[in-house]
Amino acid sequence: MTVSRRITPLLAPSMLASDFANLQAETERLAGSAADWLHCDIMDGRFVPNISFGLPVLEAIRRHAQQPLDVHLMIEQPQLYLDAFRDAGAANITVHYEACTHLHRVIQQIKKLGCRAGVALNPHTPVWVLQDIAPDLDLVCIMSVNPGFGGQAFIPNTLKKVAELKELLVDAGSEALIEVDGGVNLDNALPLVEAGADVLIAGSFVFNSPDPVATLADLRAQLSAATAE
């Protein structure tokens, strides 16, 4: 199978790594940046061993954001909160395969709300579990670190996993975008896109840099130059 690359991979800085004491400023300075989406990780301290932020903070980000909010629910029983997250500003809602007993039903709930529907897979979860639901998906988020904390090192096997997922989606006739979340930087961004990734989520790499906007611009320039060849 030949994997086709997107002309312009999407960039989604993760707000989990931003300065929570200055969320308005962090959000507003990304308005004119290379960011296509703003990625928001919601953690409940149960599905993952950490608590991040919830509905009121997401609403605050939405008031100042120019980009769509890509909301990643790392929570148990996400089906109970889908309406609330849509109302808080989510354009995309991604739930974890591992958190949903009735995944197809949850995906349909998200679609009925008018949001893009995504499924995230933990590092230990194989891509073949999505074979029967692939045509219904708008997004698949491959976790390239163990979910729950920012700043972790990229898991090298992710490249192989992305390629396997791309093949599965093509075979299923699915147009779902492939997101990669965790440890993304200038060293692995292009290999990920070449493997089939459509959306790159970067947190610490962006917000721990001296100038997040310049860092996003550098990442965009690297990918644009490579995909133009």
Residue type, 131: Q
- In the residue annotation, 136 being an active-site residue is answered as no
pLDDT of 5: 45
Question: What residues in the chain have per-residue pLDDT under 70?
Answer: 1-7, 148-151, 227-229
Q: For residue range 75-121, what is the model confidence (pLDDT) as tens digits?
A: 999 999 999 999 999 999 999 999 999 999 999 999 999 999 999 99
Please tell me which residue in 36, 138, 181, 198 is annotated as part of the active site.
Answer: 181
CA–CA–CA angle 58, 64, 70 (5° rounding): 45
pLDDT of 153: 84
pTM across the whole model: 0.94
Q: For residue range 202-211, what is the model confidence (pLDDT) as tens digits?
A: 999 999 999 9
- In the residue annotation, 41 being an active-site residue is answered as yes
pLDDT of 152: 75
pLDDT of 151: 65
Please tell me which residue in 41, 44, 70, 198 is annotated as part of the active site.
Answer: 41
pLDDT of 229: 62
Q: Is 151 left (phi over 0), alpha (psi -120 to 50) or beta?
A: left
